[in-house]
Structure 1
Amino acid sequence: MDQDNNRRSYRPLVPKDKAPVFVPPPRVSLPKRILTSVACESCRRRKIKCNGLRPKCLACTKGHAECVYATEPAETRFSAIKRKNDELQKQLDNGGSSQSDLQQLFEAIRDRDEKDAVIIMGRIRAGEDPSTILRHLRAGDLLLQLHLAPETKFRNSFPPAFRMPKRLRLPDNVYFRSLVYEATFIESSPSTSSTIELHDRFRPQYLKPYSAAEVTDPRLSLIKPSEWTNVLTDDEMMRNMIRSYFQQEHQSLPFFHKDYFLEDMMNGSNEFCSSLLVNAVLAESCSFCPDTTSRLEYWNPKSLRYRFLAESRRLWELELEKEPSITTLQAAMVLNPVYNMSSMETQGLSFGAQALALSHKLGILESLPAELNQRQRHVYGYTAWCLYYWISIQYYTYVKPPHFRQPPQTPLPDPEKNAQWYEEVAFRYPRSRTMSSQDFPHLFKARCEMLQIANQVSLCMCQAKNEGESPSSEELLGLLDRYQHWLSKLSPCLQPSHIVYPVELQLHLQYHTFVMNLCEFLISRDGNTLTPEAAKKVNRASSQSRDSFVSIMLLFYLRHGYDMQDRIMTQYLSILAYMSLKQLGDRNLTLHDDIEESRGILHLAAKGISVQGGYYYLTYLVSLALQKEMSPDDLAVLYQSTVGKGEDGSTEHMRARHEETQYPIHIVSIKDRRLGNLVKEYSAMRIQN
């Protein structure tokens, strides 16, 4: 009962209300994300999303960037790679090149000479198609090969009657076991399979004459010589003259640092370039002019050499009012051989004396002052060694006691560690893709070191005139040992087995000339007092140097010829000619073969001197003197291959009057007694006989 009452006391339960039904908001349908199979190259590099729109995607449009796709519109990256591979394979199957037209065009601009490169660039700028330009280039190359292939694979041939001396064909002749000998003779061998085989085995300088190469220095195309001279306005002509100077004369006798000269000439700076120096260089470069008047007739006011020399002398006089400068000294060195080779050696030697006076005034031979900057120290030190080499050569040639008892205080750097101290000249041979260059740092250092020995020899020879100071035989034999040690320590590229460039061959010609002179002096003075062992040593050295000298001269002829302008060759051709004349005059020479061998060498040397006489007036006079000593039969052979040239009376009179007006120059007031005597001695030097 109670339980029933309790249940009634509770409030009746009411059913729970139904929960409201959740109605989701209406869905907005978004467009599906477009998948981009290939992104453009710009988005790929920046690693951002690319929408793949063409021709320009959204990211590139917003960023104002160039939009480039590596694939076609409906192509994946894998498909593009496969397509390009198939195209290349098809091109190879059809005999085409694996390189694109643009790549070939780039290589053509890079590898060809400047003139061709400018023409190609002009065609590109004119809007021509690359394949069209390449087609023209290939057609032009075919014509060029038809006309020039024999020229660039050039090798002189000996005359039919020439006989190679038997004594030169011995196994111990190192010059006939050299690369240049092998390349020169294998080139003409019928067993040679192909030109490709030759080019695989030998570098261009072993297969082509040096005259076929061209100096490649971009600065030579940028200089404006007309800004430095009043003689000519034709910059292109003067650039070619200066280019020839650096390829030829500057290689054999450097008087200044080429790099500093060209840099300042290009930039208009007067620190290491001057109008006087530029005109002096151009006066020397007239040897490369095509017309004979400009080359030889230095007395003719219409000739270029006369005009450049006159301008140089005018500028020299203006230098009197200025402080001595390094460029004035360098110009004096350049003008010295210009006048010498024009047979005006009194004026030339006075320029040499003034160069020496200026060197003492500037102090370049001593320890250089600390206040000089790095460029000045470099140029002063380099010029000091150029002066040392040139003056030493002249004093040795004129059989005068050496002016320098000590070399310049600036040491010559090790070419292996500091090759930048020395200059370098690069060449390109026709149809060669690679650059060629000689090892000028080692060459320059070797020359100067050899001249230090030659100066000691020259001093001993001059002391021998005074019995109280005459050097002993042991001292002279020691100098012979120093010469031979110098040869054995040459760098590999200057060893007899590798030399090929004219200046490298001339380095060895100079060495053997020095050795022959020393041996002849020893034999003539001490021949009866030398020990049997010493006498054998001297005679062997003399004989080896004589045969080596002839061997090098014959190799020089075969590889480079004697018709290339080279003032240094006047000396060596003269030595070769007079050696042959002496042999022909030897009564012990009775064998017909020996006589014909000597005559053949005489004809080569005489022809070379005659050809060089067309470039230098002094060489022309040497040629006339040599012809007076040749027999009528030998002269007849010479005249068959050269054109005889004489000097008429009016020309001789004009030349003599011009020389009378060329007074010795001066620029430094020389008060030092030693220097004053130097000028007198130097100006008194004359080339006799």
Structure 2
Amino acid sequence: MGGPPESILRRIKEGDLLLQLSLKPEMRFRYVFPYVSEMPAHLYRPDNPYIESCIYEWSALQRSGFEMSTCTNKRTTDSPRSSSSPEPRPESIYLMPFHAAEIIEPLLNDIFPSKWTVVCTDDVLMRRLIAAWLSAEYQWIVVLQKDCFPQDMAHGPGRRGCCSSLLVNAVLANASYWSPHNLAYQFLAEAKRLWELESDTPRLTTIQAAILGAYCILIYKWAVEMATQIGLLSPPRDSFLDGPVNGKQRRKTLSRNFTAWALFNFQALHVYILFEPPLIKKPPDVPLPDPATNPEWYGQIWLKYPGDSKLHTTHFPYQFQAQCQVRVTMNDMWMERFGSSRQSSPEGGTTMLPSTQLEQTTEFYARLKAWFDSLPDPLTPPRIVFPSQILLHSNYQNILANRYESITPTSSNVEMTNTIKQAASCNFETLLRFYYLRHGFSYGDQFLVQPLNTLGFWSLSKVHAIVSQNHEIHEENNSELKATQSTPLLAAKGLYEQSASFYLDRLTLQLLRSKMRPQERNLLESEVLFYDRDYAGHHLPGNQHDNRIKSEENNKKKDGQAGSQTVSDRAGDNKDQGSTEKEPIREVRSKWVVTVRSVDDDPEIHRLQKLVKDNLKLDETVEWSDEDEGAFY
């Protein structure tokens, strides 16, 4: 504007620092999709209930610079809570990523984890790790009742009903950022030592610790066996409210009943991912209380966002009840999947007898749709915002798509089958895009690998279909192809960013990349992974990537920020993470089913360990037998 440089420098030097400190920093942030920044047109379907959600509306208004949203007016009354509980405002939860929030849990102030572990003496650090675990992993894989655990921990090792040294070390190992040189590895080693001492004695806390360590298949099976031995899966009908007056006994009863459902939920998701018959045939013989009237049975979780004086509830009681309900149906589906109504297929898998295929699918669809239609207000499509809520809906849409992919189309059902399947696929992609739009993929979330894997391979098959149907297509000018290509690139971006925390994501990314055409690989390098041209386009600029990882690890060691645990050896500490050609894969023992589309697919040809061996460079010097301890996801 023509002002002299001296006046500008003087303003910088003599500015009112106190006034500057009183200003609230800008905390709003919107992640931008790679390659094509807009939502693809094919997602704007009349039957897509998520397009009008608050999470998308607020993100769009952020980009336009508006402060208010009509979704505030559409919002109905929040779930019942005590009169002293603060009323959450929608602005923070829809404008800030979930990982910007801090969990508020007064019970953690009274615990001293150092009394339960020999690994660390810093109670402040370990409290922060447990708080981070409650706000992240606990939201999706629930293993214990969140109030009983810290209450017994506060009394010290003399109180073992709902807490044990094994359980504390297992929780802290899950909460920490994994590396052979940091606390997470030490907590895991201590938990393994304690497991070897206590695994022969069935105990509630041992079962909970086994679920936390269930990346080892044998541990999961031991958890089910222990639960059977102590009668956890068919407990007496002594509900929390009708239980004994004694506080310790009430906590034990509550913890038992809650853990029974937690174990059932985990195994239902576990067998669905691994294509295995359920070990637990039916849900626990314990009724689930109404979250609106008995939220204390579940335990509330409250969040505080930067610059916001009010607290926000995650609606965990509603979330856990909804998980229990849908996983009952999932478990029944897998009981039917491996039941007597199946016949062997020439490919080696099993298919349902034609006479019962459509009938069974229609019955399960009716149950799933009834569950979806009866979701409480905080979990409905317009209101969902937290990662666990998005994962709940994406899991539902994935189930529908997988189920109807198995239907043999006939003249009478082809229209209905295609409509449900296409709508579920569209809704599934919308949800994963909303996850990225609001929360991004860089913050460690070990449960993202399953939907990102599904999204990546599904959308890549659509790219191949478009290209095969249009042999003379001009790719750079085809908007439909570009929009479709943007989806596997988004999935690859998620896997790439998650691979900084989880080895499994790195393997999945390499598999996805191996299935891409050269065109998509070039886009992946230039639009997502930012390959350095000076390295001839063959690998990532390793120094930049590795320095970022090491910097994150050092910061987390210093300030105790929680990250996540990998499944196997740490990937890329001193190596190039982007190269799929130069670095052999080591120690792949995984039964995880990766590229499957239908519930009738043969899982054996889709398991990760087979796909890695067939498609990637595997270190043949490493051999494993069936007698090896466990099998990694």
* Global fold match (TM > 0.5): yes
| 3-state SS of 1:466 partner | strand
- Residue 488 of structure 2 is matched in structure 1 by 602
- Residue 177 of structure 1 is matched in structure 2 by 52
1:496 aligns with 2:377: no
| 3-state SS of 1:176 partner | coil
- Residue 348 of structure 2 is matched in structure 1 by none
- Residue 238 of structure 1 is matched in structure 2 by 126
- Residue 311 of structure 2 is matched in structure 1 by 435
Question: Which residue type is aligned with residue 327 of structure 1?
Answer: T
Deviations 1:475-517 (A, max 9, x none): 2211112111111111111110111111111110010011011
Q: 1:255 to 1:629 in 2, by over 3 A?
A: same
| 3-state SS of 1:563 partner | coil
Deviations 1:423-464 (A, max 9, x none): 111111111111101221121111111111112222233335
| Contiguous gaps of at least 5 residues in structure 1 | 1-137, 288-294, 341-347, 660-679
Q: 1:658 to 1:547 in 2, by over 3 A?
A: closer
Q: Higher relative contact order at CA 8 Å, sep ≥6: structure 1 or structure 2?
A: 2
| 3-state SS of 1:203 partner | helix
Higher share in helix? 1
1:221 aligns with 2:109: yes
Instruction: Tell me, yes or no, if the aligned pair for 1:214 and 1:429 is still in contact at 8 Å.
Output: yes
Q: CA shift at 1:189, angstroms?
A: 0.8
1:542 aligns with 2:413: no
Query: Map of 1:192-341 to 2, 5 A cutoff?
Result: 202-268=90-156, 269-287=159-177, 295=178, 297=179, 300=180, 302-320=181-199, 323-336=201-214, 340=215
Structure 2 residue corresponding to 1:521, chosen from 386, 389, 406: 406
Q: CA shift at 1:192, angstroms?
A: 5.1
Instruction: Tell me, yes or no, if the aligned pair for 1:163 and 1:596 is still in contact at 8 Å.
Output: no
1:352 aligns with 2:220: yes
Deviates more, 1:201-210 or 1:326-335: 201-210
| 3-state SS of 1:215 partner | strand
Distance 1:141 1:160 in 2: 41
- Residue 588 of structure 1 is matched in structure 2 by 469
Deviations 1:632-682 (A, max 9, x none): 3133223317766775799999996999xxxxxxxxxxxxxxxxxxxx999
Question: Which residue type is aligned with residue 154 of structure 2?
Answer: M
Distance 2:147 2:271 in 1: 29
Distance 1:518 1:204 in 2: 37
Deviations 1:292-330 (A, max 9, x none): xxx2x4xx3x34332212111111122157x42111111
Percent of pairs with identical residues:
29
Question: Which residue type is aligned with residue 416 of structure 1?
Answer: A
| 3-state SS of 1:175 partner | coil
Query: Map of 1:151-162 to 2, 5 A cutoff?
Result: 152-159=27-34, 161-162=36-37
Deviates more, 1:362-371 or 1:222-231: 362-371
Structure with larger Rg = 1
Instruction: Tell me, yes or no, if the aligned pair for 1:424 and 1:437 is still in contact at 8 Å.
Output: yes
Q: CA shift at 1:234, angstroms?
A: 2.1
Q: CA shift at 1:142, angstroms?
A: 3.8
Structure 1 residue corresponding to 2:500, chosen from 591, 614, 623: 614
Q: 1:650 to 1:232 in 2, by over 3 A?
A: farther
Instruction: Tell me, yes or no, if the aligned pair for 1:513 and 1:549 is still in contact at 8 Å.
Output: yes
Question: Which residue type is aligned with residue 235 of structure 1?
Answer: D
Q: 1:509 to 1:584 in 2, by over 3 A?
A: same
| 3-state SS of 2:50 partner | helix
- Residue 421 of structure 1 is matched in structure 2 by 297
Instruction: Tell me, yes or no, if the aligned pair for 2:176 and 2:183 is still in contact at 8 Å.
Output: yes
1:189 aligns with 2:64: yes
| Contiguous gaps of at least 5 residues in structure 2 | 1-15, 74-86, 345-350, 532-539, 546-570, 590-625
Q: CA shift at 1:575, angstroms?
A: 1.1
Instruction: Tell me, yes or no, if the aligned pair for 1:494 and 1:504 is still in contact at 8 Å.
Output: yes
1:640 aligns with 2:530: yes
Question: Which residue type is aligned with residue 519 of structure 1?
Answer: Y
Deviates more, 1:204-213 or 1:648-657: 648-657
- Residue 88 of structure 1 is matched in structure 2 by none
- Residue 322 of structure 2 is matched in structure 1 by 446
Question: Which residue type is aligned with residue 456 of structure 1?
Answer: D
Query: Map of 1:392-407 to 2, 5 A cutoff?
Result: 392-407=268-283
TM-score (norm 2): 0.72
Question: Which residue type is aligned with residue 636 of structure 1?
Answer: E
Distance 1:544 1:515 in 2: 9
Distance 1:369 1:497 in 2: 37
| 3-state SS of 2:448 partner | helix
Instruction: Tell me, yes or no, if the aligned pair for 1:258 and 1:423 is still in contact at 8 Å.
Output: yes
Q: 1:536 to 1:655 in 2, by over 3 A?
A: closer
Distance 2:124 2:110 in 1: 10
- Report the count of equivalent residues: 497
Q: 1:162 to 1:478 in 2, by over 3 A?
A: same
Q: 1:145 to 1:276 in 2, by over 3 A?
A: farther
| 3-state SS of 1:307 partner | helix
Distance 1:192 1:440 in 2: 28
Deviations 1:46-86 (A, max 9, x none): xxxxxxxxxxxxxxxxxxxxxxxxxxxxxxxxxxxxxxxxx
Instruction: Tell me, yes or no, if the aligned pair for 2:301 and 2:315 is still in contact at 8 Å.
Output: no
1:574 aligns with 2:453: yes
Instruction: Tell me, yes or no, if the aligned pair for 1:223 and 1:265 is still in contact at 8 Å.
Output: yes
Distance 1:170 1:656 in 2: 44
Q: 1:476 to 1:681 in 2, by over 3 A?
A: farther
Instruction: Tell me, yes or no, if the aligned pair for 2:202 and 2:227 is still in contact at 8 Å.
Output: no
Q: 1:658 to 1:582 in 2, by over 3 A?
A: closer
Question: Which residue type is aligned with residue 284 of structure 1?
Answer: N
Distance 1:333 1:400 in 2: 17
Deviations 1:398-423 (A, max 9, x none): 11122222110111112223222111
Distance 1:428 1:563 in 2: 21
Question: Which residue type is aligned with residue 639 of structure 1?
Answer: L
- Residue 63 of structure 1 is matched in structure 2 by none
Q: 1:200 to 1:272 in 2, by over 3 A?
A: closer
Distance 2:23 2:391 in 1: 32
Distance 1:575 1:173 in 2: 19
Instruction: Tell me, yes or no, if the aligned pair for 1:576 and 1:605 is still in contact at 8 Å.
Output: yes
Question: Which residue type is aligned with residue 509 of structure 1?
Answer: S
Q: 1:307 to 1:657 in 2, by over 3 A?
A: farther
RMSD: 3.3
Question: Which residue type is aligned with residue 220 of structure 2?
Answer: G
Question: Which residue type is aligned with residue 218 of structure 2?
Answer: S
Deviations 1:224-280 (A, max 9, x none): 222111112222222221111111001111100110111111221222111100100
- Residue 562 of structure 2 is matched in structure 1 by none
Distance 1:518 1:604 in 2: 25
Question: Which residue type is aligned with residue 158 of structure 1?
Answer: F
Question: Which residue type is aligned with residue 326 of structure 1?
Answer: L
Question: Which residue type is aligned with residue 270 of structure 2?
Answer: Q
TM-score (norm 1): 0.67
- Residue 75 of structure 1 is matched in structure 2 by none
Q: 1:141 to 1:360 in 2, by over 3 A?
A: farther
